Amino acid sequence: MTSAGNDPCTPTCTVAVRALCEFTAKAGDLDLRFTPSPTALEGQEGHALVAARRGPAWQAELPLSGDFGTLRVRGRADGYDMARQRLEEIKTHRGRLDRQPANHRALHWAQLRIYGWLLCAQQGLAEVELALAYLDIGTQQETVFTERAPAAALQAHFEQRCRAYLAWAAQEALHRSDRDRSLETLRFPHPDFRPGQRPLAEAVYKGARAGRCLMAQAPTGIGKTVGTLFPLLKAMPAQRIDRVFFLTAKTSGRAMALHALETLRRSADLPLRTLELVARDKACEHPDRACHGESCPLARGFYDRLGAAREAALALPAWDRETVRALAATHTICPYYLTQELARWSDAVVGDYNHFFDSSALLHGLTATQDWRVALLVDEAHNLVDRARSMYSASLEAASLKRVRDTAPPALRLPLQRLQKRWKALLGAHPEDHQLLAEAPEALLQALQQAHSAIHEHLAEHPTEVDADLQGFLLDTLALTRLAESDGPHSLWDLTRSGLAVTLCLRNVVPAGFLAPRWAAAHSSTLFSATLQPGHYHRELLGLPQDTAQIDVESPFDSGQLAVHIARRLSTRYKDRAASLERIADLIAQQYGERPGHYLAFFSSYDYLEQVLACVEARHPGLPLWRQSRRMSEAEQAAFLARFVPGGRGVGFAVLGGAFAEGIDLPGDRLIGAFVATLGMPQVNPVNEQMRQRIDQLLGHGFDYTYLYPGLQKVVQAAGRVIRTPQDRGVVHLLDERFARREVRALLPAWWSLDGTGGGSTPPTPPG
């Protein structure tokens, strides 16, 4: 919903037909059995196929609009046959149509009848034929339901829906007016900006005003979160921005954004609705139940109770995870899907990258269907390259296929046997441990699609059964077949064997083509991080617009705060690691002995970490040590960080690029130094080498884009944990001779003063 002018003679609110019906016509259970739905590409192709079957009098994408009081309703009907006076709505689907939940069909009819009245009113028709056409994307067969509808009945239906929506629309328009008025007078929530915050805030504000993309490199510790949120909120009224999406890679970033929004809200008593989006597996109250009313009690009658829950939510200032969970419990509905509904009525949403950039992203979908004007803040944006690659990659594992085949019900044995036959044929044709495929394995993909249809039918026929392996296999392999539709030079097909494990992967290398439409969908986007150099690396891989602006915020810190030492005669290359252990252990102990306090030591892998840790324990017993372990829970991560208390002592061992290498804040003497025993570069292996070669073919800079730049970003992020405020003093040891190379030093922060020391020699005592 968007607001228009204030003239009482004209509509003050505009709503899309789909949004109107989703608000007023949904009823009954939450029911996901008639899913997964076709992809956007499949939907577009399905609509094009149906349009091609119609006659020359058929007009596609017919724009329609009409008013009811202060409400304007608009949308595009899929097609209209002028000769037959037949208005058509097209829906694509998978599987048997007779298994479609009744409330799904009712919603589709509600939309079509709204379009029917808008057409009658626009063209002065006394009646119109309505056709609801369902296209099975698997068989390409159509099922068409029709009704002859008089204009008077359609008008009554239209007015009923509008009346049900108007009170809410008026309430929303008032909220929007109050929100914008408050934001116009919003002041910075602290007595003054930190050094570096003001130029960052000014750049974000100007980017929003110009409606363009901005890359902002700003050092750690200056308060980038509030420094980007404040100016963007200030820009919302003048730029008519409907929503702000703060997107982050990690839980810590989400927590900081929520805290900053709460600080801003409290500072001016802002009527700002903030929402936290969380992953489904973290929000689901009944993971052992299927998502429909016959299985899950929180899905039963979901839409019947949604209205009351939504009204109750408006009385709350912020919708974080625990607040929504409590609200959902009060109204006995699913907290995960309540959160998705609340996204429609929020002003600022904090979520993961995938909530906007993934192929089926909630926020991007709402932006398109609701015609929102949105602004993006992409936190720690150096992570987006790898995350986007993972979003647009998919795989099939032999072990997963075997588990499903071993436990498959009789109805699925034949399609899974066909799939197994194609799988064996593919493996037989590619016997190497790692092999790049010259083209997509079409025969296997066809067998997968047949298996999908059979699995979907089985799940629909057995709604109360929950087979986690079968459902997981379906979702994973659907991702593979869907991504195969958009296969191109940006991705690679490969087969990898490791012992008995065999994996087929469609591996994205350059996600730019997938992300470019997402940037285009936003009014403005700001990507910020302490490590966005070099700019061309991010622009090319992320598909940023050509006119993307870039700012490098000057650091508020000076070289006197941080002693940076390079161990010039030390190699942490894989072949040299055994020889490096004692020298690294002695250097850590020596630095700790000269200035006891808290340190973090970062390593390229858990194995290397354990080897150095054992060496320190053997050579320097009594030194307080603790380690990051594999697959730490959130509670275990919190316990690791809790040891960094003011005035404490000890060395925490962690993995570079992991949970403790960025996004944590340990100011003062909670952390006074760091050791980085690696350049952070990915391992040289067949997968990374084929990525390097493909990037060379597409963009050039294959080695830098695959190895050097990603590695040095991790190093700078980890070292950035040491200096968080202008009062901090500390030391960083870069434990590899390659840090002295000119091309490597050029990627380190300009304010660092590098002072090389021989590996194992006595390092200077840091200032302070």
* DSSP summary character for residue 603: E
| 263 part of a folded domain | yes
pLDDT at 659: 87
Residues 256 and 150 in one domain: no
* Sheet with 243-248, side-by-side order of all strands: 318-319, 274-276, 348-352, 243-248, 374-378, 524-529, 213-217, 549-552
Candidates 343, 335, 312, 320; CA nearest to 243 is 343
Domain of residue 437: give its range: 391-510
Query: Would you say 93 and 33 are in contact if contact means Cβ atoms under 8 Å apart?
Result: no
**Co-location of 442 and 386 in the same domain:** no
In a domain, 234, yes or no: yes
Token reading at 574: 């894989």
At 626 the pLDDT is 96
The residue type of 343 is A
Cα separation, 657 vs 660, in Å, equals 8
- How confident is the model over 344-382, as pLDDT tens digits? 999 999 999 999 999 989 999 999 988 899 999 999 999
Q: Which residue has the higher pLDDT, 100 or 234?
A: 234
List beta partners, residue 146. 131
pLDDT of residue 39 exceeding 80, the answer is no
Structural domains counted in the chain: 5
pLDDT in tens, 591-629: 999 999 999 999 999 999 999 999 999 999 999 999 999
pLDDT given for residue 138 in this prediction: 76
Is 30 found in the same domain as 159? yes
Helix boundaries (H) for 71-196:
102-123, 151-184
Q: Are residues 23 and 145 in the same domain?
A: yes
CA–CA distance, 22 with 110 (Å, rounded to integer): 9
pLDDT of residue 756 exceeding 60, the answer is: no
Judgement on whether residues 531 and 648 belong to the same structural domain of the protein: no
Q: What is the mean pLDDT of residues 559-586?
A: 93
Residue, of 54 and 766, whose pLDDT is higher:
54
Question: Is residue 752 domain-resident?
Answer: no
CA neighbor of 69 nearest in space, from 12, 1, 151: 12
CA–CA separation, 611 vs 147, rounded Å?
A: 74
Q: How far apart are CA 121 and CA 116, in angstroms?
A: 9
Give yes or no for a contact between 443 and 419, defined as CB atoms under 8 angstroms apart: no
- The number of C-alpha atoms within 13 Å of 591 and in the hemisphere containing its C-beta is 34
For 638-672, how does the pLDDT look when each residue is reduced to its tens digit (9 = 90+)? Answer: 999 999 999 999 999 999 989 899 878 898 999 99
Residue 232, pLDDT above cutoff 70: yes
The answer on pLDDT for 6 being more than 60 is no
- pLDDT reading at 456 higher than 90: no
CB atoms near residue 500 (< 10 Å): 8
Burial of 429 (0-12, 13-18, 19+ CB in 10 A): exposed
The verdict on 542 and 683 lying in the same domain is no
Question: Does the residue 369 lie in any domain?
Answer: yes
> Coil, strand or helix: which one is 721?
coil
HSE toward the beta carbon, residue 762, CA cutoff 13 A: 5
What confidence tens digit (pLDDT) does each residue in 425-455 have? 999 999 998 999 999 999 999 999 889 888 8
Residue 59 lies in a domain: yes
User: How far is 554 from 549, CA to CA, in rounded Å?
Assistant: 16
Residue of 643, 642, 653, 645 whose CA lies nearest to 616 = 653
Query: Per-residue pLDDT averaged across 232-236, rounded?
Result: 97
* The dihedral sign for the CA sequence 288, 290, 292, 294: negative
Asked whether residue 171 is domain-assigned, the answer is: no
CATH of the domain at 124: 3.90.320
Query: In angstroms, rounded to a whole number, what is the distance separating the alpha carbons of residues 61 and 48?
Result: 11
The per-residue pLDDT for 195 is: 85
Residue 547 CB burial class (10 angstroms; 0-12, 13-18, ≥19): exposed
User: 232: closest CA among 350, 352, 376, 370?
Assistant: 376
Q: Which of 119, 139, 166 is the last residue of a domain?
A: 166
Q: What secondary structure letter does DSSP report for 139?
A: T
* Structural domain includes residue 761: no
CA distance 619 to 587: 11
**Do residues 611 and 678 both lie within one domain?**
yes
> Which pLDDT does position 1 carry in this prediction?
56
| Sign of the alpha-carbon torsion through 425, 431, 434, 440 | negative
DSSP 646: T
| 101 and 224 in a common domain | no
pLDDT of 161? 95
On whether both 434 and 461 belong to a single domain, the answer is yes
Banded model confidence at residue 55, pLDDT cuts 50, 70, 90: confident
Please state whether the peptide bond connecting residue 766 to the residue before it is cis, i.e. omega within 30 degrees of 0: no
Residue that wins the pLDDT comparison between 87 and 468: 87
Please report, as a single letter, which amino acid is at residue 326. A
Cα–Cα distance, 180 to 56 (Å, whole number): 48
Is the whole model's pTM more than 0.85, yes or no?
Answer: yes
pLDDT at 755 over 80: no
What's the gap between Cα 683 and its chain centre?
26
CATH code of the domain in which 659 resides: 3.40.50.300
CATH code of the domain covering residue 466? 1.10.275.40
Q: Answer yes or no: do 491 and 589 share one domain.
A: no
pLDDT for the residue numbered 578: 94
CA distances from 435 to 427, 505, 528 (A): 10, 11, 37
- In terms of domains, do 22 and 153 share one? yes
Provide the 3-class DSSP secondary structure of residue 292. coil
Q: Helices 512-521 and 535-542 meet at what angle, rounded to 10?
A: 90
Q: Which SS3 state, helix, strand or coil, does residue 123 take?
A: helix
- State the pLDDT at residue 512: 97
Q: How many helices (H) and strands (E) does the chain have?
A: 27, 26
In angstroms, the CA 87 to CA 644 distance is 67
Rounded CA-CA distance 160/153 in Å is 11
Q: What is the pLDDT of residue 761?
A: 34
Count of residues in the chain = 768
Strand partners for 91: 134
> Cα(383)–Cα(361) distance, rounded to whole angstroms?
18
* Mean pLDDT over the full length of the chain: 91
DSSP helix/strand/coil, 293 = coil
Percent of all residues in the chain with a pLDDT value above 70, rounded to a whole number: 95
- 246, containing H or E segment: strand 243-248
Q: What does the DSSP 8-state code read for residue 238?
A: H
Residues 274 and 223 in one domain: yes
Judge whether 502 and 398 are in contact, CB under 8 Å.
yes
Provide the pLDDT for residue 35. Answer: 58
Structure tokens at 136: 């099975």
pLDDT at 455: 86
Higher pLDDT, 554 or 273: 273
Helix, strand and coil percent figures for the chain, each rounded to 5: 45, 20, 35
Spatial CB neighbours of 607, under 8 Å, sequence gap ≥ 6: none
- Work out the average pLDDT over 492-504: 91
pLDDT exceeds cutoff 70 at 572: yes
Q: Is residue 364 part of a domain?
A: yes
Question: Is the confidence at residue 5, as pLDDT, over 50?
Answer: no
> What is the per-residue pLDDT for 758?
35
Q: How does residue 226 score in pLDDT terms, banded at 50, 70 and 90?
A: very high
